[in-house]
Amino acid sequence: MSRGSLENHLFRRGSYFQPLSWSLRLKVALGAAKGLAFLHGAKTKVIYRDFKTSNVLLDSDYNAKLSDFGLAKDGPIGDKTHVSTRIMGTYGYTAPEYLATGHLTSKSDVYSFGVVLLEMLSGLRVVDKNRQIGKHSLVEWAKPYLAQKRKVLRVLDNRLEGQYTLEAAYAVATVALRCLSFEPKFRPSMSEVVKELEKLQEPIEPRPRRHSSHGTLPRKHSGQGTRPRRVSSGDLSAADGGEPISYESYPRPQAK
């Protein structure tokens, strides 16, 4: 894929890999969510089992595609609730119940998606021993802040300053927090995640122009119809007081 992996754009520094804007992160998150929802909703359900930033590839228009189906597994059939399998995956992204029991369900992928969404919000890797004590595990450090609207800005990537509203940031954080629920039954399905992320997409709208016989008139500013104010981490103290992507062309993974 022409723009490489999501991992490179989030964590690598350099002129080639520019940090993704807020709107592009939302687009990529939605595209990846649609990919997982497609696998989970197939006639023969497939559990991806290794969802992480390095397995999300971006094309020239930042459309997300899932790659590396090497650990994909057919989901439970009939009245079975899970698949029992040897524990495999990537440290930090694996659902806690799968680690504890080896029981694999589509909600295991939902947890992994929540981890990736949190990495996209924060610009931080899920595990980094070089961070200060208390922040080695991104999930453990960030979850208490995700639940509180006035504190969610503490988690946000400072490279996104001024690109989002507090309402939008909190809405995305809420999706991530639900996906990261310890109990699988409290996590949403990926189709539900898609619906929530679709509501948060920010289309690029052309700026309206007004004309008269004397030429273009300056735009008047009023409170009505204006967009919510964009916030940044500098507002923390104040905060305290595209087209749908089709996955029909996806190659069918060879589940193991």
Pairing of β 64-66 and β 73-74: unpaired
Beta bridge partners of 210: 217
Residues 6+ apart with CB under 8 A from 188: 110, 175, 178, 179, 196
DSSP 60: T
8 Å CB contact between 216 and 31: no
Query: Considering only CA atoms, which of 157, 155, 202, 173 is closest in space to residue 114?
Result: 173
The C-alpha atoms of residue 8 and residue 5 are separated, in whole angstroms, by: 5
Residue tagged 């273009």 (tokens): 216
Residue tagged 């007004």 (tokens): 210
| Cα–Cα distances in angstroms (integers) from residue 144 to residues 115, 168, 203, in the given order | 14, 18, 31
- To the query of whether residue 59 is one of the catalytic residues in this protein, the response is no
Query: Considering only CA atoms, which of 124, 137, 129, 47 is closest in space to residue 92?
Result: 137
Q: Which residues are catalytic?
A: 50
